[in-house]
Amino acid sequence: MISGNKLIFYVTALRALAAVLITNSHYTGVYPTDLISNGGLLGDVLFFAVSGFVLVNIRQSFPVWYKKRVIRIYPTIWIITGIYLLLGFFTFEGWSFAENFIYPTNYHFIASIIVLYIPYYFVVKIRCLSDNIPKIMAGLFVLELIVYILFYNKSYYHIDTVREPMIRFLFLQSMLLGLYFRKNTEKIINRNKIINWIILFAGLGLYFASKLAFVKTGSISSFQIINQIILFFTLFYIIKCFAGIDGILVNLPSKVKKTINFISEITLEIYLVQIVIIPRLAYISFPLNWIIITGIIIISAYLLHIIGSKISKVLDDLTNKLFMIKSGEGA
């Protein structure tokens, strides 16, 4: 049986990598060329895959489980959104109260995962579904393909636009891929193969090349779903390759591991704070702008994490007591 540390550390590294990729993709105007500020969607699917991986052991009823997910996320959103509204960085102009605080479309990742938690829960809990993850992913792709052929606007390249509903097919497939790897970790962990890395780097090259081709060549936009297929294929090999070197990652120097753990722990908060910080400091000369922006993001995210975690714990304790009182009254 694989020990707890070995089981999760490569996923911790993947979560930290996802945070770096997403943040880097938002550094528009920071680097000498915006070609460097890329990789956001790859980071997104990594986040969803990691979420699917770590949430596999579900024992509670849906209301209790979903309540915990909401309480983990929402206090942090309320805090940072409230701060940004008070400072004038956010406004209610064009955005309703619900879009800021209940269904937070300012943060597409949160808006997506809070919806996708629902089907994910039932896939995990229903045995005939959890035992057939590859078939579920294939079925989702067939459904996506039908929507793509019949309804999707293929006149221009936009399939990687994260604020469009279509992207949620890919996000849910990524969560299920994480679940699949969790259920099959014993078969792949510490089985490092050169061929997997060759395939991974080929997939990464093909993904970015295809993305550039679709952006530059409008005449091929009808085939843009190919880009998403390549991305999912690449995601598979990223997880497989990192699982293969888990033993190497576990034995990294202590300071490196602490850095990875630290970034992984505050990924949500990094995602939430950067939207305002980056564009307001990008004008400073490179690389000083990168150093200042990155430093402020990390410090702000850490402070937000501390405050949000404390509020989440208080709310979790209160709601647990309410659930116990309600169940006691029912008895």
In a domain, 331, yes or no: no
Q: Tens digits of per-residue pLDDT, 241-276?
A: 999 999 999 999 999 999 999 999 999 999 999 989
- Local structure of residue 285 (DSSP, 8 states): P
Name the domain count of the chain: 1
In a domain, 102, yes or no: yes
Q: Tens digits of per-residue pLDDT, 288-326?
A: 999 999 999 999 999 999 999 999 998 888 887 776 665
| Residue-wise burial string across 165-179, b where 16 or more C-beta atoms lie within 10 A, e elsewhere | ebbbbbbbbbbbbbb
Nearest partner of 66 among 14, 125, 7, judged by Cα:
125
Q: Which pLDDT value is given to residue 95? A: 64
In a domain, 93, yes or no: yes
Angle between helical axes of 108-125 and 62-86 (0-180°, round to 10): 170
Q: What is the dihedral of CA 47, 100, 302, 164, to 10 degrees?
A: 20
Q: How far apart (Å, rounded) are the C-alpha atoms in residues 225 and 218?
A: 14
HEC-encoded secondary structure of 222-248? HHCHHHHHHHHHHHHHHHHHHHHCHHH
Q: How far apart (Å, rounded) are the C-alpha atoms in residues 173 and 52?
A: 9
Please tell me whether the overall predicted TM-score, pTM, comes out greater than 0.75 for this model.
yes
In a domain, 257, yes or no: yes
In a domain, 88, yes or no: yes
What pLDDT band is residue 133 in, cutting at 50, 70 and 90?
Answer: very high
Q: Is the dihedral of CA 145, 147, 151, 152 positive or negative?
A: negative
In a domain, 68, yes or no: yes
In a domain, 65, yes or no: yes
Q: Measured at the alpha carbon of residue 97, what is the angle toward residues 94 and 103, in degrees to the nearest 5?
A: 95
Where in the sequence is the domain holding 82, given as residue range(s)? 4-326
In a domain, 96, yes or no: yes
